Structure formats: structure tokens, C-alpha cells
Structure 1
Amino acid sequence: MINIRSLYQEDRSTRRALLILLKKRGKISIQEAAEQLGISGVAVRRHIHELQKDQYVQTNIQRQSAGRPTYLYSLTEKAGALFANGYDAIVNDLLDEVKDEFGDGQVSRLFHRRREKWLQRHEDTFRGLDLEKRVERLAQLQEQEGYMVKVEKRGDRTFVFEEANCPIYQVAVRYRQACQCELSLFQALLAAPVARTECIADGGRKCRYTINSGQA
């Protein structure tokens, strides 16, 4: 006898995995999604169709100079809400109250205090590590917080650190101190020059950082 509830839960799990894959990759084809998820192309199409009905996925057509066009799929703006932590509205309301009562400077001080506490909590785990291990450790911490991290090493001295998700997106859009705090924290923990080259709060698809060892 078919367990309908089990099938439904499996569908939801696969659909969630597909959403995360789209979040990390940006745009992806049916074939690529099938290979990454280990399911058939027919199954991927079915999940894509359901997500499109809910307006979470959109189709992107790439026309070639010759031959048939390529169909890629990506998340819609509406899908961003699926990755929110649910506390953004509360945090923004509290920060609004602080700003109204004490001014924008106090909001900045709150973000700075959060940075200092986070630094004190984790800096011992970075001590004695070379830059590559520091980057790996930072990626682990951010991944645990839901940032969907990818790290790419370029050459001997450069790393590209990408975050496909921003769990505090709504806060960061309203209070840019959140982004400034993250950049400053990365620089302190990595003890290396860090530059932000793309930001989700600015409309980017990812938060992307370039990290250099600073060694000749």
C-alpha cells in the first residue's frame, strides 16, 4: 500500500533541496538540477512546475546563435522570503525604536557591540591558523548561520568568499551597519585585507568578498 504522507514529505524535502540548489547556483538547467539532486529530469520538471505555480521559480531563456534556446531556471524575488529567519520584522521594529529614542549613533553602537561579542566568542578558534584555515573556519561558522557559503581559492594568495543567502536581509536593507559590521568582523577574524565586491542588500545575487594574504 502506498504511503501518501510519506510521498508528500519526500516531495517537500526534494523541493526544498531544489530551492536551496537554485539559491546557491543562481540559474540552473533541468539536467544540471537532476544530476545534483540525483533524480530524473521528469521529476525535476514536476517540482519546477509546482514552484512556478507558487511564483517561486522563473524561466530564463538563453538564445543561441544556432540551434534551440537553452532554458534555465532561477528563483523569483518572492522566493527570498522562504530563506528569511522570521525575526527580521521584530529586529527592525526594535532598531527603529532605538533610533527614534536615541538616534542613529546608538544603532551603530549596538551593531559594534554585537561585532565585539561575536569576535570574543570565536577569535580563539582562529588563533594559530594560516589564512586558508581561517577562511575555512569562517565558512563553517557562516554556514551554520544559514549563509550558504562557497569558497574558491584563486592562485596562492587570493580567496573568493561567497554567501548565497542573507538571513538578515530585511535588516541589512534598512540598516547598512549590518553589512559594515560583517565586513569589519571578517577583516578582524582573518587578519587579512577583505573587500566586498557584491552585496545582496544592494541588489546583488550574492554577498561576495575577495580576501588577499597581502604577501608578495
Structure 2
Amino acid sequence: MSAAIQKILFLLKQKGPTPLQPIADALSMTTMGARGHLKRLEQDTLVAFEDRSQGPGRPARHWFLTEAGHQRFGDRHPDLTLQLLDSLEATLGTEGMSALLLHRQAQQQQQYQTELGQLEGEERLQALATLRHQEGYMARLEPQGEGWLLIEDHCPICAAAKRCQGFCQGELELFRLLLAPQWQVDRTEHLLSEGQRCCYSIKPSSA
């Protein structure tokens, strides 16, 4: 797979539905060249498009990843994950599963806290985003008003999260524990609630 093709897939994963011109700009090539790459990806069923009306004039064509395109980024053996979760719930019951998720969250908190150490302020946020990126979440931090937006463009445990929403709730609680009392954390976009990705608004507690 060429570097240009890989860059298109990464861009669409990160940005969601995107018009042709920004794709061409990101590749530093003409729209004709970018369209050729997109057509090849469309033939491979990795991307598709939709035409969006934006007022008078022709609708703007937006390109996006198909399910097959998203799977290019991996999902940590989803079938095995689902089988294991089903077996665990059958063995432990609902209360046992809840206890297991709490134990996992406590382990994550300890691990992250060790990595973050005594870092504070923006350095702590950047370090957290780096940790999440290393774990496959394609995480990045962007300034937003008086605070920040933690964006996770990919979920490497998506299959497990779909099966058990406790993973998602545990993630939000983990961030709140790690960033308290300086920061207030709220989820503003959720991949499993028809969002393009998961996003977390992080604001100073006094704001």
C-alpha cells in the first residue's frame, strides 16, 4: 500500500467525512491525483462518499471510511474478545463482571499514575494523550476555549466496548480520577453513541 493511500486512510480515520480539496492539500497533490487514489480505495471498498448540500450550488462530495476501511486499523481480535466476555459473564454473573471491570480500572489507574508521576497542568494532559496514543487510541490534545479537548480517533477495544458499556464508563471515570482536582472532564462525543470518535472536554475546575 502506497504512502499516499495510507495517508488518506489515516486522514479519514482522524477527520471523518472530508471533501476532496482538503485531502489533496494533505497529500500535496492536485485534486485529480487525489481523486485517483480515492477511486482506487473505493474499488477496494475501503472508502465511500456522500454528497452534502451546503447551500446554493452543487453538493459537496465528502469521502469517508467504510467498515472495511475502519478494520484496517485493527480491533484486537474482536471475536475472541466477545467469546471471552460471554464466558466471563456466564461464569461470574453481572455482579462479578462489574467487580472485574472495577479491578481493571484500578489497575489502569495505578499504571497511568506511575507513568504520569508528579506532572501537573498541560504537561500532565499531554502525557496522558501520549499514553493513550501508544495504546492505539490515536489520541491527540487540542486547545478549546479555557481548556482542552482530548480526541481519540480510534478505539482498539471497540468490540469489547460494544459488548459491555462498562468499559466506556470506566474510561471516563479513569480520566476524572487521574486529572482531579485540577481538571473537570466530560465526554462530549462517543463513538458508540453515533459519534465519529470519542472526545473529552477538559476544563480547569475553577472555570
Q: After TM superposition, is the score higher than 0.5?
A: yes
**Partner of 2:104: helix, strand, or coil?**
helix
Aligned to 1:211: 202
Q: What letter is aligned with 1:33? A: I
Structure 1: tracts of 5 or more residues without a match: 1-8
Cα distance, 1:64–1:115 mapped onto 2, change above 3 Å: closer
The answer as to 2:109 corresponding to 1:119 is: yes
Bigger mean CA offset, 79-88 vs 139-148: 79-88
8 Å CA contact 1:60, 1:73 repeated in 2: yes
Aligned to 2:178: 189
**Partner of 2:42: helix, strand, or coil?**
helix
* In 2: Cα distance, 1:52 partner to 1:199 partner: 27
**Partner of 1:145: helix, strand, or coil?**
helix
Equivalent of 1:94, from 73, 84, 87?
A: 84
8 Å CA contact 1:134, 1:189 repeated in 2: no
Deviation track 1:146-184 (CA, whole Å, cap 9, x = no partner) reads 21223222233x221111111111110111111011111
CA RMSD of aligned residues (A): 1.9
* In 2: Cα distance, 1:103 partner to 1:64 partner: 51
Alignment of 1:72-87 (within 5 A): 72-87=62-77
Alignment of 1:119-198 (within 5 A): 119-156=109-146, 158-191=147-180, 192-198=183-189
**Partner of 1:139: helix, strand, or coil?**
helix
Identical counterparts, % of pairs: 32
* In 1: Cα distance, 2:77 partner to 2:66 partner: 21
**Partner of 1:55: helix, strand, or coil?**
coil
Shift of 1:42: 2.9
**Partner of 1:66: helix, strand, or coil?**
coil
* In 1: Cα distance, 2:11 partner to 2:54 partner: 25
* In 1: Cα distance, 2:73 partner to 2:129 partner: 18
Structure 2: tracts of 5 or more residues without a match: none
**Partner of 1:15: helix, strand, or coil?**
helix
8 Å CA contact 2:154, 2:197 repeated in 1: yes
Bigger mean CA offset, 32-41 vs 162-171: 32-41
Deviation track 1:121-156 (CA, whole Å, cap 9, x = no partner) reads 221332332232221111101111121223222233
For this pair of structures, how many residues does the alignment match? 205
Q: What letter is aligned with 1:168? A: I
Cα distance, 1:207–1:64 mapped onto 2, change above 3 Å: closer
* In 2: Cα distance, 1:183 partner to 1:131 partner: 19
8 Å CA contact 1:84, 1:168 repeated in 2: no
**Partner of 2:45: helix, strand, or coil?**
coil
